[in-house]
A and B are shown apart, each in its own frame.
Chain A
Amino acid sequence: MSLDAKKLSPVKVAEMPPWPGGAAGGTPQEPARRRIQAGGYLMMLAAVAVMVLPLVWMMLASFKERDEIYTVPIQWLPESFDLSNYAAALAAVPFGNFFINSLITTLVGATLKIALGLTTAYAVVFLEFPFKNLIFGLVVFALLVPQQIVIIPNYTLVSDLGWINTYQGLILPGLASAFGTFLFRQHFLTLPVSVLEAAALDGASHWTRLWRFVVPISAPTIAAVALVSIVSEWNEYLWPLLVVDRAEMMTLPVGLTLLQNNDGVTNWGVLMAGTVLITVPVLLVFFLLQRRIVSGLTSGAVTG
């Protein structure tokens, strides 16, 4: 449809609506919009404060003497940034051992979770086989099942296999990641099928298509799943508590309980130092992956 130039009346500059935020004032809706925006920022600030302040407090408390932690009114900064709490934490429990165990279980566990998630999602999206939708439905259903429900059968199986106090006992039962499969599947549905069809015509196998084409263009989603997997593996408490009997196989969260004092007086400075040592690696991973995370978590949100 063409526009009739004659019917278009010229617009005078003076009549033009002002540029938002410009010198010429604002539209009637502008103050309301600004208020909403300000309210949004305030809510965001409040949410950030709720999440960040405990971390800041933990970090600062890890440098404090016992007396400094219990001051009224609250004293945020320590008198001096003394490392004695860290020394005490490291001396009290074999942190090096715990750290290595956590590193192994996290890296191996997260890597295998991602690999399984990728391959399962690829199969569900790009392969044709009977009951495909039913199988994916079961994967989604698995998201609804609390971990606690399967703990006793898993424990019995691991025990019968002789895997108590072993890395495989710690890692294998948690590998089937419904979350990863679901997220990858949603993302794969948004990928251009033409690229994969072209690869197939060139004789690329499914394996090649997955690793050479799908994985490289799925980096943000993989980063998101990696972060979630790393954090959940690193922070896992109940399962390692159950399947580990020996101190030399404990992971950091379980080992940290050795610093606690039930029916006694917990030295919170030392405990906070231990907690910082556990938290920092995960925060570093988060900062390394954060750019890719948002795009990864939102990919596949719109399909069709």
Chain B
Amino acid sequence: MNASPFATMNRRQLLQLAALLGGAGALAACGGPAVGGAGGAASDAATDWAAVTPAQEITWWSNHPGTSKDIESEIIKRFTAETGIKVNLVTAGANYDEVAQKFQAASGSSNVPDLVIASDVWWFRYMINGQILPLDQLAKHLEFGTDDFNTTLYNDYGFADSHWAVPYARSTPLFYYNRAVWEKAGLPDRAPKTWAEFDEWAPKIASAGEVMPLGLGKGTSWTAWWFCNMLWGAGGAYSSDWTMTLDTPEALAAANYLQTIIYDNKTAAVTSNDHVADFGAGLTGCTIASTGSLTGILGAAKFEVGTGFLPEGVKGPACPTGGTGLAIPAGKSPEQQLAAGMFLKFLTNAENTAYFSSNTGYMPVRTSAVEGETMQAVYAKMPQFRTAVDQLAGTRVQDWGRVFVPNGDKDLTTALEKIMLQQGDPAEAFATASASITKSYEENVKPYL
């Protein structure tokens, strides 16, 4: 597998995309206009960063992933002490989607932040709208040391020979289990290696703990993310480049398996709106949750929590990356952009990514931080964290149909929730999602590539 999913783009497509970005074409359906002529690839290449003096005050819009407001504030304090640049931290929403709504609304105005959360399902939309700056030239000028970023995580933001964001609060889904229930059930102290093994274990888990064996979560930015594990593990995919592939036998097998464990085996369920809290309260024997939930779960659970890789499917292991990166809006002055770049470099350096990770559970985004002193101390105190970091090696970037097409994630979530909550026909639910995503691609993406 290529490190970057964008290797399949041909020269003509690259040139078309460069033209689009140079002209800052707007996508009305994406919810916000382009940010004038400053947007797109041309603005970064044309800026002589050496001649720019950084602004003394910038604004950062965050949703404080993993309850990280205090951690973010502390990093800001350190940055201001070192550079004298003030950073205004704004709570721009309760989740990635709300930050995106606010950013889309603001993009036609003068109230755009200097730094914005850009999640896996949103950054591409910002990019194609000409709303964010390609960071390569700025990163080169500031000597970011981008080669030290985890390759998969950094390449998640690559398109058209540019990187449009840097990794920040990055996560993967992780398998969490209740060790007390496992022990009572006489199971080995590890996650099931495969879904077939989970099926063997599930009745023992149910009877030992008098709990629902597996609690599953629902909702946008979530359902279609963890389902990647079952889907890819079965040999399926949401899409191949821009072509939807939900009608393949492998994709349907994954959906049928999900429905089977819920309705036939009764070994999994969407227990409530907060499956993480349900697991922490001991209502489910195990769950799939973000690595970003790790410290929260360990703090809340009254039992010992075990973590493991996601179970493998018939075609082997499968795990998506997720979470959010940070992008610099295109419509700001070079002075603001330079100051934002300086803060971005500081925020994601080895020391601060380790500090952020150790306090939240998100991945350290730099390889040098993974084996650094701070993280070693974390692994010693919290061995579960090591699982999350180790699983990163087996991750792959996400299918374009989910993360690059406007409303792709939403349509897939609707389909999966129909399958999970209404026992809907998988083929029918997937066909509806495919048609909707294909239409969205044809209208909102294809004309601009």
A in complex with B:
yes
Q: Count the A-B residue pairs with Cβ separation under 8 angstroms: how many?
A: 99
Contact A152–B94 (Cβ < 8 Å): no
* Residue of B91, B169, B295 ringed by the most chain A CB atoms within 10 A: B91
Q: Does B280 contact A (CB under 8 A)?
A: yes
Q: Does A72 contact B (CB under 8 A)?
A: yes
Q: Which of A238, A245, A260, A265 contacts B280 (CB 8 A)?
A: A265
What mask results when residues 360 to 388 of chain B are scored 1 for a CB within 8 Å of chain A, else 0? 11100000000000000000000000000
Contact A241–B102 (Cβ < 8 Å): yes
Contact B101–A242 (Cβ < 8 Å): yes
What mask results when residues 45 to 62 of chain B are scored 1 for a CB within 8 Å of chain A, else 0? 000000000000001010
Residue of B nearest to A246 (CB): B90
Contact B67–A261 (Cβ < 8 Å): yes
Contact A265–B299 (Cβ < 8 Å): yes
Contact A260–B94 (Cβ < 8 Å): yes
Give B281 Cβ to nearest chain A Cβ, in Å: 3
Q: Does B277 contact A (CB under 8 A)?
A: yes
Q: From residue 199 to 247 of chain A, which have CB atoms closer than 8 A to chain B? A: 238, 241-242, 245-247
Q: With A and B bound together, what is the CA distance between A190 and B59 in angstroms?
A: 55
Known: A69-B281, A263-B65. A241 touches B293 (CB 8 A): no
Which one of A29-37, A139-147, A156-164 contacts B?
A156-164
Contact A262–B109 (Cβ < 8 Å): no
Contact B274–A266 (Cβ < 8 Å): yes
Contact A160–B102 (Cβ < 8 Å): no
What mask results when residues 240 to 274 of chain B are scored 1 for a CB within 8 Å of chain A, else 0? 00000000000000000000000000000000001
What mask results when residues 247 to 271 of chain A are scored 1 for a CB within 8 Å of chain B, else 0? 1001000000110111111111000
Q: From residue 28 to 68 of chain A, which have CB atoms closer than 8 A to chain B? A: 66-67
- Chain A residue total in the interface (Cβ 8 A): 30
Chain A residues, CB < 8 A from B362: 263
- Chain B residue total in the interface (Cβ 8 A): 50
Give A303 Cβ to nearest chain B Cβ, in Å: 41
Q: From residue 245 to 304 of chain A, which have CB atoms closer than 8 A to chain B? A: 245-247, 250, 257-258, 260-268
Q: With A and B bound together, what is the CA distance between A155 and B31 in angstroms?
A: 13
Chain B residues, CB < 8 A from A77: none
Q: Which of A67, A246, A250, A263 contacts B292 (CB 8 A)?
A: A263
Q: From residue 118 to 172 of chain A, which have CB atoms closer than 8 A to chain B? A: 151-152, 155-156, 159-160, 164
Give A297 Cβ to nearest chain B Cβ, in Å: 32
Q: Does A70 contact B (CB under 8 A)?
A: yes
Q: Does B171 contact A (CB under 8 A)?
A: yes
Q: With A and B bound together, what is the CA distance between A257 and B61 in angstroms?
A: 15
Q: With A and B bound together, what is the CA distance between A70 and B273 in angstroms?
A: 13
Chain A residues, CB < 8 A from B72: none
Chain A residues, CB < 8 A from B91: 247, 250, 257-258
Q: Which of A72, A155, A257, A267 contacts B283 (CB 8 A)?
A: A72
Binding site for A on B (CB under 8 A): 31-32, 59, 61, 63, 65-67, 69, 88, 90-96, 98, 101-102, 104-106, 108-111, 169, 171, 274, 276-278, 280-283, 290, 292-293, 295-297, 299-300, 302, 323, 360-362
Binding site for B on A (CB under 8 A): 66-67, 69-70, 72, 151-152, 155-156, 159-160, 164, 238, 241-242, 245-247, 250, 257-258, 260-268
17 contacts between A and B (CB under 8 A): A70-B283, A155-B108, A238-B101, A242-B102, A242-B106, A245-B92, A246-B90, A250-B91, A261-B67, A261-B296, A262-B66, A263-B293, A263-B323, A264-B295, A265-B277, A265-B280, A265-B296
